[in-house]
Structure formats: C-alpha cells, structure tokens
Structure 1
Amino acid sequence: MKARLSICWFRRDLRLDDHAAFFHALKSPYPVLPVFIFDPDILDELTDKYDPRISFIYNTLRALDLRLQDHGSGFYVVYSSIEEAFLKILDTFDVQAVFTNNDYEPYAIKRDANIRALLGSRGILFQSYKDQVIFEKLEILKSDGSPYTIFTPYSRQWKQKFTTAELTGYPSEKFLSNLFKTKQFQFPELEETGFSSLDPVMPKPDFSERTIRNYHKTRDFPSPGGTSHVSHYLRFGIISIRRVVSLAYKWNETWLNELIWREFFMMILYCFPGVVSESFKKKYDKIPWRNDEKEFELWCKGETGYPLVDAGMRQLNETGWMHNRVRMIVAGFLTKHLLIDWRWGEAYFRQKLLDYELSSNNGNWQWAAGSGCDSAPYFRIFNPITQAKKFDPRQAYVRTWIKDFDSYDIPPVVENDFARKRAISVYRQALSEV
C-alpha cells in the first residue's frame, strides 16, 4: 500500500525555516515529503559542467537533508524532467496535495501550470504561495490598475502599502514532527546531472548592524566592499526575504531601496515577459549594434585596456561575483563604448554570476543599455576613467583583480571620448528613425 502524504516542492527556497509553502504543508493533515528536482531543461542551458551554482545547490540540499534526518525524514531528490519526476512520485506515493512557492519567470509559470493540470486531472491539490518577495505580481499597481514602469513611484507605493505585518514569518521549523518518516533516500550523484562536483567559495552574507547602517556611505566603493553579499543567498532562498527586509527597514533605507528594485524587476518580468529577448522600449531594438566578436572576447577576458572594467570582469570570471557599481560600469562599457548588444552581456553574466536572477540581470542590463524601464537617458555614458578615480582612488580594487597591475600595459580597445561620441550618434540616429 502506498504511503499517503503531502509534497513540499522546493525550488529557489532552500531552507527549512520561515518557508511559506513548507509551513502550510506541515500544517496540513498529512505527513510531508520534501522534494527537489534537478531539471534538465534548466541544467542543459549551462555550458560549464563545473558550474559552482549546481554544486552549491547540491551541497545545500545535502546539509538540509542531514537536518531532516534528525527528524526521521529526508529529501527526495530526482534528476529528470519535471513531468517525469512527478509521474514517478505519484506512482510511488499516495499524494494528497503538493505545496510550493510562487515563481515569476516565464518558464516557471508555464512549468507550474502544466504540473497543476497534471495533478488536477488526478484530483490532487496544488497550492502555491508568495515567499520570495514582500509584494508580488499585481500587488503594487497604479491607481488605474496598470503596472508601474518607473521605479520611484513604484517604490513610493511599495512603502505606503508596507507595514511590519508583511514581515510576519512562517515558523515552519516548529512543525517538523509532521514530516514523512522514512529511511534516508538515495541522493543521485551530482555527476548524474552531467556536472562535476566543486566546493564553491561563496562570500558570507554580512548582516551586522555596522555594515547595514553604513551601506549608503560605502556601497559604491568596490574595495573594501561595503555590501552585504546577500544576493546569492536570496537567489537560492537560503535566507528569508522577510528577515532581510526587516533589517533594511530598521537600519538603512538605501539598502531597502535595493531590495525594492529586486521586486520591481520581478514585477516587470511577470507583467512584460517579452523583455527576456526584446527591449522593454521597443524602439531600442532598432539600434545597429556593432557586435564585434573580438572586442566582445576582450571584454569577457578583462583585456579592454580600462583597468576598472578589466578588474570587474576578472573578478567575475574568478569568483562568480562582481561589485554592483562595477557591474554598471562594465555593462555600460559593453553597450555604449563597444556598441555590443546588451543580450550578449546579459547571456555572459547568466553563465557566470553565482547570484544570477533573470529579472534583475535582464532589468539591469537593459537599464545600462538605455532600453529598459526607467533607464538612464542614452546620452548618459559612464566614463570608466573618472569612475575609477572616484570610486577606486587608491587603486585597491584594480590591484586586487589585476594581479600584474604594475606591468599592466594593455592598449585601450577604443578611445574613450571617441566611443562616447560614437554611441550618442548611433543611438540618436537609430531612435530618430523610429
């Protein structure tokens, strides 16, 4: 006889505490089996089979599984297509309900709709909850019911609607006695997914009061970093958004604004899924990008001849992370100085960033290119030379990531003033013809 139970389907919420779907599942009448599915439709897009993100997810699941074993349970981990995984689960267990948290990316929305239909055809409840944001989907709208496309009024409305009640958590960790009791399941070996095991070095998040209170003063200086390094922990849901926002709300509005930007871009992606491949401002798709492959390669390797740009790209290639100010500079350099399509840069960051998140990566790249919502005007172009003097005056950052900086003698791939004038001319002409 098959065991009767509920499923909690973990995705980008790899924690056992303050977890909306897990809480509701554990409060349901049936014991709960935690499930994670390595989806080949996602993994096959990753070209580096030593991708540290996959090892990080795998190692995190292992650690969570040890905690579940303390309660006589364990993670049920599958490597297969989502539909095949659920068919296997339904053949193995008498599933009464599936609980999961909302995801707002186009692929995820379609995936969840398919699973909801599959389960519904068998009379199985599919419940999905808000968990990775404070406000989701259409919760923050203009007075006429349309979505905001400018950040400042969106953030103003966000703050007006926000109360500390939004920070009320879900004490899922208090109800682990309702887990499905089982012997430990056999984890698939990571190599079965086509990836090789690594021990990735992830920067630890810094939630100290001093760091957060000083964030608005230090965040633009890449060395020493004045950032919290919380982005990849939010990306994989290792920490609750409610905990992070509670600290920001308490200690620093600038940091809170950055978290609101994250939700703004998620809302934009949800309401305008076409931005994945098209410019938010359609007329910007008329720009005749140069798309010089050799110059793109120099940018990727950090050999443009502009120290701050090169240091940023080398930091990314070596660590999978880049300081936010530097991200804006290297993105602006690619799209404006080199006139290379923002989609090329977005795709490169997608492959490299440990904290890669489709909505934020897409939104920020389109912001840099001028094609996105609430972007800077096309004629505002970061000068990588003056940016370096302003934000890395002692050259601490560039010396950290350009190991041979004292002998660094790479000729600039393009002259700065020429590139600026060329970009303005190309953008102006393309936009005037629309």
Structure 2
Amino acid sequence: MTTSSPLILWFRSDLRLADHPALMAAARTGRPVIPVFVLDEGNRHAAPGAASRWWLHHSLTQLSGALGALASRLVLRRGNAARIMPDLLRETGAGGIVASASHEPRQRAVERLLTDAGVPLRLFAGNHLFPPGTILNGSGAPYRVFTPFYKACLNAPPPAAPLDAPAAIAAPGEWPGSDRLEDWDLLPRAPDWAGGLRETWTPGEAGAAARLEAFLDRAAPAYDTARDLPAQPGTSRLSPHLHFGEISARQVWHAATHHPDAGSTGMATFLREIGWREFSCHLLHHCPEMTHRPLRAEFENFPWRDDPAGLRAWQRGETGYPIVDAGMRELWHTGFMHNRVRMIAASFLVKDLRIDWRRGAAWFLDTLVDADTAANSSNWQWVAGCGTDAAPYFRVFNPALQARKFDPEGGYIRRWVPELGNVPAAHVAEPWSMMAYDREAIGLRLGQTYPHRIVDHGEARKAALAALGEMNENASVLN
C-alpha cells in the first residue's frame, strides 16, 4: 500500500456527507477516495422492503448529486458485499476500505468476513450517539432495560459535536465501473403505488436537515403532548432519515440540545425518544437474534393463532376498528404510521387477533419507509410483551378507548377512513355504537360501506389473557 493509492469509502446506512467520520478521515489523507454503495440483499431479515427500496433509490440519487458537486461520484455494485469489496480492492488498487461501524447483524457478519480474509477495513463510529458496546452497567454487562440505559447515556460524556462535510474529495485517476441505479428496479412498476410517498417525503440529506429544522422550530416544545395526537403534526418524522443515515443521531442530538427551547419538557421527551432508538441499536448489537426470536424465552411457546383472514384484514385496514384501519391505510399510502397508532395497531394484531408479532414486524419492514431492523424488532417485542424491556402482555389496548382519548374529534380517522366522514365525533371511534337508523341516515352500512368488527374486543381480551395464562402454566411445568 502506498500513500497515493486510493481508499474505498463504503457507504451503507450513512448516506450523507456531513458528520461522517469515515468520509472525513479519508478526505483528510489527501488520497483519492472511491465512494461505493453495495446493494446486498442476501439476508431475509435485512433485505429492504418495497417502501424502503423506493426511499433508497431517491436517497442514492441525492447522495450521488452531492458527491458530484465535489467532483466525485458514487460507484454502485449489487451482490454479496463480502465478495464485491475484495474484488474492488484488486480492481482499483485501493489500499484499504473505510466505513461507518454498523449494529446490523448482516453488516457485522460481512465486516468479520472481510477482516478474517485479511481485507484492510477500518471502521469509524458515526451512526450512533455512543458506539454499541460502550454503554454498560456496573458489572460490565449490557443494559436490558431502557430507563437505566438512558440514565447512563445522560451521565456519560456527551456525544461529540458533529463534523462538517468535507470541502473537497480527491478523485482517482480512473473510476471503476458502476451499475446504473435505474437498473436496480428499486422503484415500483405499474401499478405505481408510490404517489403517496412522493407527496409526503423528500429523501436525502437536504430533506433531512430541513425536516429537523422545521420540527425543532415548530413542534418540539409541545412534543410531550402533541406526539400522541395523530391528527396533529406533532412528531418529527425524522425516522426514515435516521434509518438511511441522511442525518446522524449526533446531529439531531446536538441541534436539540443547543436549541433555544432545549429546556422544555417537549424537547426532553423528544431526546428520550432518540435515546430509545439508541437503546434499540445497542440491544440488537448484543442480541442479533431479536429480529426473529423473542427475548423472553417463555414466549417461544406462546399459543399464537394462525389466522390468514385476520392478518389480511389488518394489513388492508379492514378490521372494523377505525383507529386501527386509519393507521394501516396511512401506512400503505405514505409508508409511515403515527407512533401512537403504531402501538394501537400492533397491540390489536398480537392481542386482539393473537397473531405472532413476527408477522406484523415483517409487514412493517415491507411497508415502512423507516423500516429500521433494530427499532422495528424492539418495538414489536415491546408491544408483544416478549422483549426484555416490554409492556406486559396483559396490557391490552382498547382501540375504541384509545381513539376517543387521542383522536377525540376523529380528524385522523376521517382522513384515512373517508367512509366514516359523516359519522359524528361521539361515534367515529366505534361506529357500531350508533343506532341503526342514524347510521342509515348518513349512508353508513356496516358490512357494506365499512366492515363489521372482525373480533369483539372484550372477548378477544379475555382470550388473550387466557393464552398468557396457558403459556405461564406450561412454563411452570417445564421449570
């Protein structure tokens, strides 16, 4: 390796130029830098879903343009990264690879394969507030519960200030060949279902920065209360930008803690949510099996139901419970679902329908633009009660009560379930409670214009608690 040989900058979940320690380290050497992104779909738990593929296409387009403005370019390759990266080293004569360290099981496995094969790979901390493995309890073990984890984060030295983007990136004398992004077919073919995504999102680093600034100035001070009201624009909607690394957690944390409203209760609540995302990443780092196995072992034997019709009704937003259906339709149209409604919809699947949480997690991975493996797995395990830091399974959300509390006027429901547009606020959370002649007067015919409830919540709750008791009895016998 010579000081003039190029370096390969391996982009993964860090599609940005600012606050990118690996990029900055490579640029500061003065050596030619070859930015590379590999589309590696070799793991069923990590392959991007349809909504994520749409976002990835546009994010890579924006990153390529930003690199082009620095007289650089983005090299695209598709396939097994463990084979492609050594091939690129030989093809370009590069002296090494620099990248941001990952908490994703698939990415970490590739890192190990490359290192074991003698590939010169240097990893930089850049995707987290604190590198996974550095926040440990007094015994040197990882935290399994969020609150003490977050307290430890607050007591640790604060995350370093984010880095600026490099002013220049040296280009190699000869560029390696690159795939055409259009040939990856990341965008939907006919029928084009992505219209709602285009209306809702602006992928890319600039879009991420604009969304953060707008949220901090507009909604952050009231975040502690507004975040639970789906009819209001009270959440940050930064999750897809964070997932793709168009903005770093460090940038978000620094902007929030240095904002004029940094001392507000809303901002403290927002920072705690960033902490929950960080906790999920650390948990996945230590427990890579959490994508497909419950962290509480007794839930391996939970009596889940096989209910294809119920799963299909839930996926389509046709359960007969308006707040659940509104959330599932918002998800299909925009690739996103309000956080409070995510909890309600997830609870309905795993408790009212008693369908395995992994079926819900798989659907979210396919349809969410913020389909982050760590957050998705930890959130579903939290709702299902099978994670290490979980809501007890016996806590069963009543969807009608949740709707009356958090969408009291029904604005969110009416937006996404327009067939209930004329239902009075007193009944929009549970239209079956209206007298039949009142429903008829506004053209609402249950089972025709809007579905009947596919389960009775009260009976479903009893069945869910009975299933929990059965699991606990079996666990006692085994012990």
- Does TM-score exceed 0.5, indicating one fold? yes
Q: Is the 8 A contact 1:286 1:431 kept in 2?
A: no
State the secondary structure of the residue aligned to 1:173. coil
- Please name the residue that 1:151 is paired with: 146
Please provide the CA RMSD for this pair: 2.3
Distance 1:386 1:81 in 2: 48
- The equivalent residue for 1:292 is 307
- Comparing 37-46 with 27-36, greater Cα deviation is found at 37-46
Measure the CA separation in 2 of the matches of 1:315 and 1:423.
Answer: 27
Cα distance in 2, alignment partners of residues 23 and 300 from structure 1? 43
**1:60-112 deviations in whole A, cap 9, x for unaligned?**
22232233233322111112221342243123211111100011121111111
- Aligned ranges 1:36-185 → 2 under 5 Å: 36-41=37-42, 51-118=50-117, 120=118, 125-163=120-158, 166-174=159-167, 176-180=168-172
Is the contact between residue 20 and residue 163 of structure 2 (CA under 8 Å) also seen in structure 1?
Answer: yes
Tell me the residue number matched to 2:409. Answer: 394
C-alpha contact 1:31 1:180 (8 A) present in aligned 2? yes
Distance 2:175 2:110 in 1: 30
- What amino acid is aligned across from residue 332 of structure 1 in structure 2? S
Aligned length: 424
Q: Following TM superposition, by how much is the alpha carbon of 1:341 offset from its aligned partner in structure 2, in angstroms? A: 0.6
Task: Say which SS state the counterpart of residue 35 (structure 2) adopts.
Answer: strand
Give % identity: 32
Letter in 2 for 1:151: F
Structure 1 position 345 matched with structure 2 position 366? no
Superposition map of 1:343-422 within 5 A: 343-405=358-420, 406=422, 407=444, 408-422=449-463
Task: Return the offset for 1:182.
Answer: 5.4
Give the direction of change, closer, same or farther, for the CA distance of 1:255–1:189 in structure 2 (3 Å limit): closer
Alpha-carbon distance change, 246 to 72 in structure 1, aligned in 2, over 3 angstroms: closer
**SS in structure 2 at match of 1:12:** coil
Deviations 1:310-332 (A, max 9, x none): 11011111111000000000000
Superposed CA offset, 1:202-238 (max 9, x none): 4352433231111112000001220011000000011
Partner of residue 424, structure 1: 465
Unmatched 5+ residue regions in structure 1? Answer: none
Output the CA distance in 2 between the equivalents of 1:300 and 1:220.
22
Report the AA paired with residue 317 of structure 1: W
**Equivalent-residue separation in structure 2 for 1:32 and 1:133 (angstroms):** 24
Give me the whole-angstrom Cα distance separating, in 1, the residues matched to 2:417 and 2:406: 16
Q: Per the alignment, do residues 265 and 189 of structure 1 end up closer, same or farther by CA in structure 2, a change over 3 Å counting? A: closer
Q: CA deviation at 1:43?
A: 8.5
TM-score, normalised via structure 1 length? 0.91
Residue 436 of structure 2: aligned partner: none
Residue aligned with 1:73, SS: coil
- The alpha-carbon deviation at position 431 of structure 1 amounts to 1.4
CA distance in structure 1 between the aligned counterparts of 2:358 and 2:390, rounded to whole angstroms:
16
Q: What is the CA–CA distance in structure 2 between the aligned matches of 1:43 and 1:70, rounded to whole Å? A: 35
SS at match of 1:7: strand
Residue matched to 1:190:
182
SS of the residue 1:247 aligns to: helix
| Partner Cα separation in structure 1 for residue 147 and residue 69 of structure 2 | 47
Q: Distance in 2 between matches of 1:248 and 1:47?
A: 30
Which stretch has the larger CA shift, 16-25 or 321-330? 16-25
